[in-house]
Chain A
């Protein structure tokens, strides 16, 4: 945490009381003899602990432990067992593999070749490098499962080049911050694996369902870029010749082939999603070290270590979130919430609106994985009762997470982009709004037009 992030010495003091009050209140009320519903206790405790700034995983775990020790008959052993068995699922292991693959790709020059290919294809249109950036992000998203990784991989190369060509820094930062979010919508996607784990939905179905919305969002972001660039007369690239395009394609073919391996492998059933992830990690390693030779072998241990640390962090959140959702289920909270919402006469349209607003609000304070792991198990039973397709609901959540990644205060993409561009968060926030607006429009489309997500899995015969 940098020193700049600390409040001034004469900041108001009352906010400091908020977390403390939230943590203490439920117990104080109980001692005073007021009956507080269990749901309220769990959530005030969780929110209070989270606001203290401790790791999300620890606040989840502590909430469960505190609740267990003070007010329930659920045997602690059965919950503790979840702590050990919570992540013993092969599907979850796709996460470390995809992170590893992503790191090899980011380091290995695959991104650079993809950018060259993208700019040879669309660089001569309005938007030039900006439009190429959108396409390159979409291509990279198809081999990487994380948004911030996509922003780093594409942004750190294309942004300096854009500024050199005379684009305002804001324009470039806006394009890349938002297009990078495609990383979790276009398969593979770590957030989709999280959703699948939290709700027992098929990872393969979610991946296939993400393809069409991913392409649609890329197109919409591209159109926004094109329109803005045309309006302001930003520089364009000279049209690439057929031979140049072919060469750029051949150079990036090793990276592009990975798209075929992952998606094709999962769809045809050659691999399970986890195996596909492991294969792509090995493949990315081979390409980076032996084919492109951008990465010396000596750097491999460091990449393994970084990937392991990142995966362990996510797995630790998953472990605690599994325990948390087990507590919720054993206290019948999702079920009673579902019943309550249905009693209110909440229809599909209103429910989806509420969910989106709730998730967007949560996106203001938490990052995507935690949101999905906490909210999906709660909202999912209601969605199922209302007849919403689990896959559609998942894709909607993922798109919602993308929006959250691109706006402050916790938009991860923003921080990454600010690291790459050296622009302040406030300035970046202004920079991203045309694209952010586009994403919000897209979110509405995805939410209320299920065929966009369900069409492809259906014609491929993956869902009914």
Chain B
């Protein structure tokens, strides 16, 4: 389980970094190739980076699917909790569970749809326009990501049944601000309390 968690975090971190670097390099390359430095310019012109945009999109689509699953585990997905938070604990418990299971059902259905779709695409010779990689590899993130998300919803629901706790994302907290400020304006008010308003 721990390995899956780490793998998930590691994957989306790397995808984010790689996508950023690729676009950065592509833009720098586009302008650097326009500068007339003998030798260098020819070498740069030979490199074709027209696929950068497409690759960036695919990387981010992958990141989005797995990041959404990670988000379930960390409680980053926002919902309308105005009403539920005013209910009796027993009623609230019902809706929280309902929401989590609905999430599992939805992602499960999407995952299955995605799997069939990917299976169909895999039997065609469809390739992406610039990179020319088979489309089914690109679409593979949908079944994988959705099933993982489904699993995370069930995991969170199970934890909620057992302990009554939900993961929750703290919007007010920014890593690293604390110690920067401690030097700047020694203040006790820098460790934001739990913020209601976000939930799994």
CB neighbours (8 Å) of A6 from chain B are 85, 87, 89, 92
Q: Given the complex of chains A and B, what is the CA–CA distance between A410 and B82 in angstroms?
A: 8
B56 at the interface (CB under 8 A from A): yes
CB neighbours (8 Å) of A409 from chain B are 82, 197
CB distance from B169 to the nearest CB of A (A): 8
B40 at the interface (CB under 8 A from A): no
Q: Which of these binds chain B: A206-214, A293-301, A392-400, A454-462?
A: A293-301
- Within 44-78 of A, Cβ neighbours of B (below 8 Å) are at 49-59, 61-62, 65, 76-77
Chain B, Cβ-Cβ closest to A53: B84
- Within 96-150 of A, Cβ neighbours of B (below 8 Å) are at 96-97, 100, 106-107, 109, 112, 148
Q: Given the complex of chains A and B, what is the CA–CA distance between A109 and B197 in angstroms?
A: 28
A179 at the interface (CB under 8 A from B): no
Do A416 and B172 have beta carbons less than 8 Å apart?
yes
CB neighbours (8 Å) of B119 from chain A are none
Do B70 and A100 have beta carbons less than 8 Å apart?
no
Do A5 and B106 have beta carbons less than 8 Å apart?
no
CB distance from A122 to the nearest CB of B (A): 19
Partner of A316, one of B15, B20, B64: B64
Partner of B71, one of A2, A18, A316: A316
Q: Given the complex of chains A and B, what is the CA–CA distance between A167 and B177 in angstroms?
A: 22
Q: Which of B88, B105, B114, B190 has the most CB of A within 10 A?
A: B88
Q: Given the complex of chains A and B, what is the CA–CA distance between A370 and B65 in angstroms?
A: 18
CB neighbours (8 Å) of A83 from chain B are 110, 113-114, 142
- Within 169-187 of B, Cβ neighbours of A (below 8 Å) are at 170-177, 180-181, 184-185, 187
Do B196 and A415 have beta carbons less than 8 Å apart?
yes
Partner of B68, one of A100, A156, A312: A312
CB distance from A402 to the nearest CB of B (A): 16
CB distance from A200 to the nearest CB of B (A): 17
A306 at the interface (CB under 8 A from B): yes
Given contacts A52-B84, A57-B77, A422-B189, contact A152 B139 (CB under 8 A): no
- Within 151-200 of B, Cβ neighbours of A (below 8 Å) are at 166, 168, 170-177, 180-181, 184-185, 187, 189-190, 192-200
Do A278 and B20 have beta carbons less than 8 Å apart?
yes
CB neighbours (8 Å) of B63 from chain A are 96, 308, 311-312
Do A96 and B60 have beta carbons less than 8 Å apart?
yes
- Within 47-101 of B, Cβ neighbours of A (below 8 Å) are at 53, 56-57, 60-61, 63-68, 70-71, 74, 76-89, 91-92, 94-96, 98-100
* Number of B positions contacting A (CB below 8 A): 88
A11 at the interface (CB under 8 A from B): yes
Interface contacts (Cβ under 8 Å), in number, total: 296
Do B80 and A100 have beta carbons less than 8 Å apart?
no
Do A107 and B174 have beta carbons less than 8 Å apart?
yes
A161 at the interface (CB under 8 A from B): yes
Given contacts A6-B89, A51-B83, contact A100 B20 (CB under 8 A): yes
Do A307 and B106 have beta carbons less than 8 Å apart?
no
Do A55 and B110 have beta carbons less than 8 Å apart?
no
B16 at the interface (CB under 8 A from A): yes
Query: Which label, helix, strand, loop or mixed, suits the secondary structure of the B interface?
Result: helix
CB distance from B122 to the nearest CB of A (A): 14
Given contacts A160-B185, A415-B195, contact A19 B83 (CB under 8 A): yes
**Range for the number of chain A residues in contact with chain B:** 35 or more
CB neighbours (8 Å) of B85 from chain A are 1, 5-7, 53
CB neighbours (8 Å) of B106 from chain A are 58, 61-62, 65
Do A54 and B98 have beta carbons less than 8 Å apart?
yes
- Within 280-300 of A, Cβ neighbours of B (below 8 Å) are at 281-282, 294-295, 299
Q: Given the complex of chains A and B, what is the CA–CA distance between A61 and B23 in angstroms?
A: 31
CB neighbours (8 Å) of B26 from chain A are 275
A366 at the interface (CB under 8 A from B): yes
Do B86 and A1 have beta carbons less than 8 Å apart?
no
Partner of A156, one of B61, B64, B84, B181: B181
Given contacts A83-B110, A419-B171, contact A312 B64 (CB under 8 A): yes
Partner of B77, one of A10, A55, A419: A55
CB neighbours (8 Å) of A444 from chain B are none
Q: Mark A243-284, 1 if CB is under 8 A from B, else 0.
A: 000000000000000000000000000110011001101100
CB distance from B133 to the nearest CB of A (A): 14
CB distance from B119 to the nearest CB of A (A): 13
Do A304 and B70 have beta carbons less than 8 Å apart?
no
Partner of A279, one of B24, B78, B86: B24
Q: Given the complex of chains A and B, what is the CA–CA distance between A404 and B135 in angstroms?
A: 41
Q: Which of B15, B20, B173 has the most CB of A within 10 A?
A: B20
CB distance from B7 to the nearest CB of A (A): 13
A224 at the interface (CB under 8 A from B): no
CB neighbours (8 Å) of A345 from chain B are none
A303 at the interface (CB under 8 A from B): yes
Q: Given the complex of chains A and B, what is the CA–CA distance between A109 and B180 in angstroms?
A: 8
Do B56 and A93 have beta carbons less than 8 Å apart?
yes
CB neighbours (8 Å) of A418 from chain B are 172, 192-193, 195
Partner of A282, one of B20, B168, B185: B20
Chain B, Cβ-Cβ closest to A10: B88
A25 at the interface (CB under 8 A from B): no
Do B23 and A312 have beta carbons less than 8 Å apart?
no
Do B189 and A160 have beta carbons less than 8 Å apart?
yes
Given contacts A52-B99, A294-B180, A311-B67, contact A1 B168 (CB under 8 A): yes
Q: Mark B97-134, 1 if CB is under 8 A from A, else 0.
A: 01110110111011001100100000000000000000
Closest 6 CB pairs of A and B: A419-B172, A312-B67, A419-B192, A54-B99, A160-B187, A55-B77
A-B contacts, 21 of them at CB < 8 A, read A1-B198, A9-B88, A13-B88, A15-B83, A58-B79, A58-B106, A65-B109, A80-B117, A87-B60, A93-B57, A96-B19, A106-B174, A107-B180, A160-B189, A164-B185, A295-B176, A308-B12, A311-B16, A313-B68, A313-B78, A419-B172
